[in-house]
Amino acid sequence: MSGSPLVEIDKASKIYRSPRGATTAIADVTVQIGDGEFVAVVGPSGCGKCTLLKCVAGLEPLSSGEIRVRGERVDGPPDGLGAVFQRDVLMDWRTALDNVLLPAEFLGLRRADFLPRARELLGLVGLADRANSYPWELSGGMRQRVAIARALLCRPVFLLMDEPFGALDALTRDELNVELQRIWLAEKNTVLFITHGIEEAVFLADRVLVMDRDPGRVALDLEVALPRPRPIAVRDEPAFAAHTAKVRAAMPRAGASRAA
Amino acid sequence: MSGGASFRAHLVDTLWVVGVFAFVCAVWEFAVKAFDLPVFVLPPVEDVVADLLSAPGLFASHALFTVGMALAGFAVAASVGLLMAFAVVSSRILDRILMTFLALLHSVPKVALAPLFVIWLGAGFEPKIAIAAMMSVLVIVVDAVAGLRSVDPEMVNLARVYRASPLAIMLKVRLPAALPHIFASWKVAISLSLIGAIVGEYVGGQRGLGYLILVSQGSFDTPRVFASVLLLSVIATALYYLIALAERMFAPWHVSRRAGGH
Ligand SMILES: Nc1ncnc2c1ncn2[C@@H]1O[C@H](COP(=O)(O)OP(=O)(O)OP(=O)(O)O)[C@@H](O)[C@H]1O
Ligand SMILES: [Mg+2]
């Protein structure tokens, strides 16, 4: 279901240098993401998932290689981007609603035009009654949900999500997985989704990338050809289990690469 | 619930201040009586109070002038200081130039410059405002720069994702994050500006509590000197709480987090 590639990651490497030494976060990563494709990335902690996302977002320069979005070399955030970072980074001085409205303000769009959508999105993540709460009055999971609503505000054509559901309980997580799939089916945007959950990755994605570490690289690129829309019960089907088994088998064991 | 607790905390604070103040007055009174000090050395407390009450209009008009000079100087320092901090944070070159310039200014005892300002600006309110501003600008810039740089880099990244302009990042991301630092520096700066205003009144002009202290000293009117100093302490305290009030209004998230003990 993927069209022409929206994102081309071409032999991308990123080395962080500090006086204490150099860390190769990702090495020689080559991946293409089709227009409208949903790609999930799983991998052990420290394998360079955040780094990959930052580079694709144009927030960190590569050490070598190239990333192109719509054929153009990335050297700053591309057009139509939306992002959820691993930490929620809400502004303490703004209410939940005002935090959700931030992208419109930054993009120079009229706030009033987005007010109904902001409220709708807050409702979608189950926070309709907390629109006027300040971030410090919210729980960790609530804060994360505000961050998700914020990322969706301006209908991004390219959505980057770094463990967006990490701080949520299993039930809310399931609900939001279904909701995210619905939004993606409706808006047909391209999504790069980082997660620690293998089931979550297989449930949501068209393709699952498994990353290995030291240095960070792609170990498996698995197509998930399950029909859409996928109900939450799809996870009990043998076809689903076959996919998760493949991903699990490709996941590097904890500490394995270091012990060698 | 936190309202009641904070009210009690305020009450306890106030009682402490009143208690210590009463103790100081008692020691003062005791010293005067025990050592039989002459009035021009150390007047008894009641003489000072009596002098204050004998000429409320005079004290009020001089006090008003001093407060005006201090506030004007502080306002100049706060606005110039914030603009300088923006410049320092936005450009490496301006950082070098301005911080070197401020370090230079810091190394000069500003009080020693006061007579020069009278030569340059006359005996009106200009030199007083200038000295009051100079006294406090450094602490304001240094703290504002620290505050503007303290912002979570991930928050700047988020703003960049949505293509925020450098100006928007400065005003909507860095500035609010810096407000707690800025208010902390203002609490110090306001009393430095008050000192600057008094120094300005010492060296020129015929208005303000600094001037009143100087002429009273000339005629050995020690109760009046003490009355003026007492008034200045009250003013300094009031100005401090004025800033604290502004902080409560403009950085409520910071104040309530502090009170909430997060
Ligand atoms: N700003 C940085 N400076 C130096 N090293 C960094 C920096 N950011 C990440 N690294 C290093 O790069 C490697 C990959 O980090 P990254 O945050 O991309 O991992 P991750 O896969 O997102 O991990 P997690 O699942 O724990 O979030 C790690 O070894 C980390 O120490
Ligand atoms: Mg990460």
Q: Sketch the domain layout of chain B as residue ranges.
A: 63-225
**Interchain pair A134, B159: CB under 8 A:** no
Q: Which residue has the higher pLDDT, A197 or B1?
A: A197
CB atoms A59 and B176 under 8 Å: no
Cross-strand bridge partners of residue A208: A40, A222
Dist. CA B50–CA B32, nearest whole Å: 16
Comparing A166 with B3, the larger pLDDT belongs to A166
Return the CATH architecture of domain A1-80+157-260.
Answer: 3-Layer(aba) Sandwich (3.40)
A66 has pLDDT over 90? yes
**What end-to-end distance do the CA atoms of chain A give, in Å?**
40
Which residue bears the tokens 């961050």? Answer: A147
pLDDT at A146 over 70: yes
pLDDT above 90 covers a percentage of chain B that reads 70
Q: Which residues does A49 contact at the CB level (< 8 Å), separation at least 6? A: A41, A43, A162, A194, A211, A216
Angle between helices B45-54 and B222-250 (to 10 degrees): 80
pLDDT of residue A3: 52
Query: Nearest C-alpha to atom 11 of ligand 1 is from which residue?
Result: A25
Q: Collect all residues with Cβ–Cβ distance below 8 Å to A80 and sequence separation of at least 6.
A: A156, A157, A158
Residue B171 scores a pLDDT above 90: yes
Summary mean pLDDT of chain A: 91
List, in sequence order, every residue forming a beta bridge with A14; answer none if it has no partner: A26
For B119-163, the pLDDT digits (tens) are: 999 888 999 999 999 999 999 999 999 999 999 999 999 999 999
Q: Are A23 and A16 in contact (CB under 8 A)?
A: yes
- Predicted pLDDT of residue B39: 86
Q: Render pLDDT for B111-120 as a digit per residue (tens, 0 to 9).
A: 888 999 989 9
CA A37 to chain centre: 12
Domain boundaries, chain A: 1-80+157-260, 90-156
Q: What pTM did the predictor assign?
A: 0.85
Peptide bond into A215 cis (omega under 30): yes
**CB burial string A211-240: b at 16+ within 10 A, e below:** bbbbbbbbbbebebeeeeebeeeebeeeeb
Residues of chain A in contact with residue B255, where contact means CB-CB under 8 angstroms, are none
The CA distances from residue A119 to A99, A126, A132, A140, A147, in Å, are 11, 11, 11, 20, 13
What's the pLDDT score for residue B5?
A: 67
Q: What is the mean pLDDT of residues B217-228?
A: 93
Binning pLDDT at 50, 70 and 90, where does residue A256 land?
Answer: low
Distance A246 CA to ligand 1 centre (A): 25
Give the minimum alpha-carbon distance from B157 to chain A in angstroms, rounded to a whole number: 7
**CATH homologous superfamily for the domain B63-225:** MetI-like (1.10.3720.10)
Q: What percent of chain B has pLDDT over 70?
A: 95
pLDDT for B106: 85
Dihedral (Cα; B1, B6, B12, B15), 10-degree rounding: -120
Q: Copy the structure tokens of residue B182.
A: 């800025």
Interface test with B, best of A16, A89, A138, A161 (most B CBs within 10 A): A89
Mean residue pLDDT across chain B: 91
